[in-house]
A and B are shown apart, each in its own frame.
Chain A
């Protein structure tokens, strides 16, 4: 059974860089046809897609975050990562990683999801 697990600091200072990793188990991140995505949810709010990556390294980002986001993949470690620079309090959210399928240009439906990790931006 495919499982995803987010990891990384739970507290980041304003103006610094948020870095998270999603480790995939029970399957290969190099499986053809699947993208790997990051989605976030501010406390008490809805879901926002951040971006998606294919195992080859092709990436797609939400234009609202594009200037600050980098998603990368390490197939040898079966994980992919998120970097978000110059964070502010508005970036405080639960960050989820998920597998994307039936995608067009990184635009996918997502299943399964990791359990999520809360990242708080505060000094």
Chain B
């Protein structure tokens, strides 16, 4: 199975901050990388697909980049509703696997 490793596991940030989360795959996955946001007691929500494409309805302050093994999710200006846990997921190989999550907390 392809292992997905996110860093950091958690971070504290203030409203308006620029936030970057990284995701590293244990082998090359081209651009088969997606990002989800999960708020407490809610289901994950797709934010970014194919490494850098913004899902419909997602604010443009979210962006993704990378290919191969190293990927980033960037929030350009953190908003109160962005405090959540973020997961990356690969679907290059079966089984699809997720990172362990990055919790973004209020500073």
- Which positions in A face B, CB cutoff 8 Å? 46-49, 60, 62-64, 96, 98, 102-116
Contact = CB atoms under 8 A, between A and B. Distances in A.
A107 B98 contact: no
Contacts of B100: 46
Interface of B: 34, 42-46, 49-50, 55, 87, 89, 91-101
A113 B101 contact: no
Contacts of B34: 109
A113 B49 contact: no
A7 to B, nearest CB: 15
A115 B39 CA distance: 12
Interface of A: prevailing SS: strand
Given A46-B98, A46-B101, A47-B98, A109 B46 contact: yes
A49 B96 contact: yes
A111 B101 contact: no
Contact of B46 (A47, A60, A111): A111
Nearest to A63: B95
Contacts of A115: 42-43
A96 B95 contact: no
B94 A111 contact: no
A103 B55 contact: no
A46 B102 CA distance: 10
B99 to A, nearest CB: 7
The 4 closest A-B pairs by CB, nearest first: A111-B46, A113-B43, A47-B98, A107-B94
